[in-house]
Chains A and B, each alone.
Chain A
């Protein structure tokens, strides 16, 4: 039998159900590989011992009706996990152990999944390279000293390196799709309201959404089916009829109309991104889709809008980390002094930068010019998509304006870092589903991704297009295990 860790989630489930392999064997394989892959720094907290124990428990009393029968899964360290440390990649939550479970992870455990560990990420999910994590940089298994993308960088790295069969990330401006694109994996950001935000450390509440990350499209459909649920504990959760995404999955997309937005052809975009996109259009045509040119006129305003709305919400969401109730507390002469010291020591540079930006744009005298204006532009961006969807069923764009860059290459240039999100943020602002699938490589052989954006709640069409194109593209990562001695 081939290496267990190289199997897809679908294959693992099949093998376990057919009793060809046990949950414990699967857990052991991923743990063993994870132990050998510490150089990637993908994990913040390992849950290996407990995972082995739970996998044995599963094998002793297996339930094959579950959707994730005895499958070990590592998750981004932004999901609160009961009795397991949850840091959000921040010093301020360095020793925080929740007494509760996020709805999304609970859904996974309810279907037989077992927690393998907590994966590194940018601090409070603020970053595009995983370089803002208090727990250090994460290596991209594609090549040494290459960033894995962010903020779900630990997730994309662990996934591409076969340290976990699938994983979940969160996506506020591209934090699932961009790292997926950088690591040659699949990442889906569902419609806002599809997955509960309950128990996920908040970054920007109106944009945050959890989603699956996997090695292929089918696996994402299986995982989405598990994690997407209506949740009364999240007032923004939406009660819509959810598909059986994996069983409804089809490669037949004949006659589906796919829009190509001209505004995504941005200045200075590398030629290889342009040609990837063209190739993607051809693949889509090959799959039977009809290609239609569309316009999303307010696209160029998306990035500045995002960098007002997200920091504004973040500045308020992060006010609770004040040293009073939990997490890091530095001692101070007075309450204010304690606040200042705690937050100075507890937060990293990028988080502080965004708190400052957010505080500024909400300040009296600036609110109308920034926050209110941004909210209006956000509506216009949404309307762009609404109008486009009168003509098309989905939209095809590149996932990122470049392939993965070197660690340290952009960490001193926030604006160039922010530009990474240029194709992904409009999707969050409009609350739409979007997937990134690997579609080719650049001159360095680094993966490049294509993004398929769907109508609200129409994850199925997004998955179907991705599933169909995936077959035509037939992309395979070339991972050399360079980090293992």
Chain B
């Protein structure tokens, strides 16, 4: 096999002339901490409120106002650190990052610079070719800024400070990602872990999860890092992938033309699908970081960390392992079921309600098949599923014990959608119970054979394809309710 590379499914390489480039990606993910109040004030963090209705004197930086750390946000950051299998630092420091902007009331952002609350950790990605570990460099807490609105008033910029002071976790990965697919998997895995922990809802539409994407390219096989560009504030996975593809190709083109890449900050234009230079390294802000004298260093005891560790729920990796071991489902199926905590919960509830005679295969297929299709169509989360886990489990049990056929089950499933109706009731009210009485079925089949004598003879003479015709007729005559297994058996006998 010398010289032949096995093409991995998620690999992303750029070929130009005789050169093969790989792309090196590191992400700085900004995840909004799930918390009712802000990082240094008691204002609400609720999304979608009227502008400037969730702003305290601290958030608006009135004279003499002082920040007071929200302990809950600290706990959330530590929990996230634990979820990332990272080192929790006993001492961390809040710094001021100084710059002027209309939506930055203090004239500085309180962030953590030299001493973050969480140090190195890692995340496991399930890629088609196997598992991949991505290093976490650090996680730190910081304040969000407000929002400048440029397109409402023709001559003024309006400022909404509702978001000002909301707690963010900046999660910095090592430059371990190599393709848009891996970025997709990484963001989804991060989001999954944080949703399991309840530390970030991961809602990208509401801006709860955004990322700065660092991209560089190099000849595949090289271990040196190329000059990177940082693409600021990308707010969807799709845009991240598009930005990476554009940016990587731009850099390769430059290198192929013998030019150098400038280390710079770039913006992704989602309409034009291109990245544009925002500022070069020379124009980079001097943020004049220094420890915030209004806040003492954050000191966290091991006891405090241990207490939080004891509160950590089962996380996706462990859950996946347990699903495989306990429910004997495939790794692929387990990956799908654990990726979202609500799906995993739903699945486990279905399993529990199915009782002793449970059928895992049916449960997995109905959830990932019929149910997912409905959720997709309606564009809703599984937590809002129109069919409860309890009733889906009942439906599966009705199939399993032969009360209904899989085909009828689909009809019943459609009917259940309208108000989470108990499938048992539908079966009874609509008389959809599978006909499994051999005598009744024999009579029915006798009639069909009688009515189609010529076809029966043809079948006996070897035209085996006609067997399907008879099955169809029998099902039709029974209104779809006949037990297909029995029909098969009886037909074989009678013909």
Chains A and B belong together in one complex = yes
Chain A residues with a Cβ under 8 A of chain B: 79-80, 86, 88, 93, 96, 98-100, 102, 197-202, 204-206, 232-236, 312-313, 315-316, 318-320, 322, 324-326, 335-336, 339, 359, 362-364, 367, 371
Q: Which of the segments B73-81, B102-110, B176-184, B443-451 contacts the partner chain?
A: B102-110
Contact check, A201 vs B159: say whether CB atoms are below 8 A apart: no
Contact check, B67 vs A235: say whether CB atoms are below 8 A apart: yes
Q: Which of B66, B98, B108 has the most CB of A within 10 A?
A: B66
Q: In the docked arrangement, what's the CA distance between A88 and B288, Å?
A: 25
* B299 proximity list for chain A (CB < 8 A): none
Give the residue name and chain of the B residue nearest to A326 (CB).
B62
Given A198-B64, A316-B107, A320-B61, is A364 in contact with B294 using a C-beta cutoff of 8 Å?
Answer: no
CB distance from B440 to the nearest CB of A (A): 79
Contact check, A205 vs B293: say whether CB atoms are below 8 A apart: yes
Contact check, B106 vs A320: say whether CB atoms are below 8 A apart: yes
CB distance from A309 to the nearest CB of B (A): 9
Q: In the docked arrangement, what's the CA distance between A275 and B68, Å?
A: 48
Contact check, A80 vs B296: say whether CB atoms are below 8 A apart: no
**Across chains A and B, which 3 residue pairs bring their CB atoms closest together, nearest first?**
A319-B107, A205-B293, A362-B288
* B296 proximity list for chain A (CB < 8 A): 235-236
Contact check, B62 vs A98: say whether CB atoms are below 8 A apart: yes
CB distance from B237 to the nearest CB of A (A): 32
* A364 proximity list for chain B (CB < 8 A): 286, 288
Contact check, B290 vs A367: say whether CB atoms are below 8 A apart: yes
CB distance from B101 to the nearest CB of A (A): 8
* A318 proximity list for chain B (CB < 8 A): 107
Q: In the docked arrangement, what's the CA distance between A364 and B289, Å?
A: 9
* B294 proximity list for chain A (CB < 8 A): 202, 205, 235-236
Given A99, A313, A335, which contacts B102 in the complex, CB threshold below 8 Å? A335
Give the residue name and chain of the B residue nearest to A336 (CB).
B100
* A322 proximity list for chain B (CB < 8 A): 100, 107
Give the residue name and chain of the B residue nearest to A339 (CB).
B100
Contact check, B63 vs A96: say whether CB atoms are below 8 A apart: yes
The answer, yes or no, to whether B373 is at the interface (CB within 8 Å) is no
A-B contact pairs, 30 of them (CB 8 A): A80-B64, A86-B63, A88-B63, A93-B63, A96-B63, A98-B63, A98-B64, A99-B57, A100-B62, A197-B64, A198-B66, A199-B64, A202-B64, A205-B293, A232-B68, A235-B66, A235-B295, A315-B98, A316-B107, A319-B107, A325-B61, A325-B105, A335-B102, A362-B98, A362-B288, A362-B289, A362-B290, A363-B288, A364-B286, A364-B288
Given A200, A205, A359, which contacts B288 in the complex, CB threshold below 8 Å? A359
CB distance from B138 to the nearest CB of A (A): 20
The number of chain B residues touching the other chain, given as a range, is 20 to 34
The answer, yes or no, to whether B96 is at the interface (CB within 8 Å) is yes
Q: In the docked arrangement, what's the CA distance between A338 and B294, Å?
A: 28
Q: In the docked arrangement, what's the CA distance between A199 and B106, Å?
A: 15
Give the residue name and chain of the B residue nearest to A365 (CB).
B286
Give the residue name and chain of the B residue nearest to A86 (CB).
B63
The answer, yes or no, to whether B157 is at the interface (CB within 8 Å) is yes
CB distance from B163 to the nearest CB of A (A): 15
Given A320-B106, A320-B107, is A325 in contact with B60 using a C-beta cutoff of 8 Å?
Answer: yes
* B62 proximity list for chain A (CB < 8 A): 80, 98, 100, 325-326
Contact check, B63 vs A80: say whether CB atoms are below 8 A apart: yes
Q: In the docked arrangement, what's the CA distance between A484 and B57, Å?
A: 42
Given B57, B69, B105, B108, which contacts A100 in the complex, CB threshold below 8 Å? B57
Give the residue name and chain of the B residue nearest to A100 (CB).
B57
Q: In the docked arrangement, what's the CA distance between A316 and B94, Å?
A: 14
CB proximity to A under 8 Å, residues B124-167: 157, 159
Q: Which of B62, B63, B100, B288 has the most CB of A within 10 A?
A: B63
Give the residue name and chain of the A residue nearest to B157 (CB).
A335
CB distance from B54 to the nearest CB of A (A): 15
Contact check, A316 vs B108: say whether CB atoms are below 8 A apart: yes
Contact check, B66 vs A197: say whether CB atoms are below 8 A apart: yes
Contact check, A204 vs B293: say whether CB atoms are below 8 A apart: yes
Contact check, B66 vs A234: say whether CB atoms are below 8 A apart: yes
Q: Apart from A199-B64, A324-B105, list 16 A-B contacts with CB within 8 A.
A: A197-B66, A200-B64, A202-B294, A234-B66, A234-B68, A235-B296, A316-B288, A318-B107, A319-B108, A320-B106, A322-B107, A324-B102, A324-B159, A325-B105, A335-B102, A336-B100
* B295 proximity list for chain A (CB < 8 A): 235-236
Contact check, B96 vs A363: say whether CB atoms are below 8 A apart: no
* B61 proximity list for chain A (CB < 8 A): 320, 325
Q: In the docked arrangement, what's the CA distance between A100 and B58, Å?
A: 11
* A233 proximity list for chain B (CB < 8 A): 66, 68
Contact check, B100 vs A316: say whether CB atoms are below 8 A apart: no
Q: Which of B62, B96, B100, B157 has the most CB of A within 10 A?
A: B62
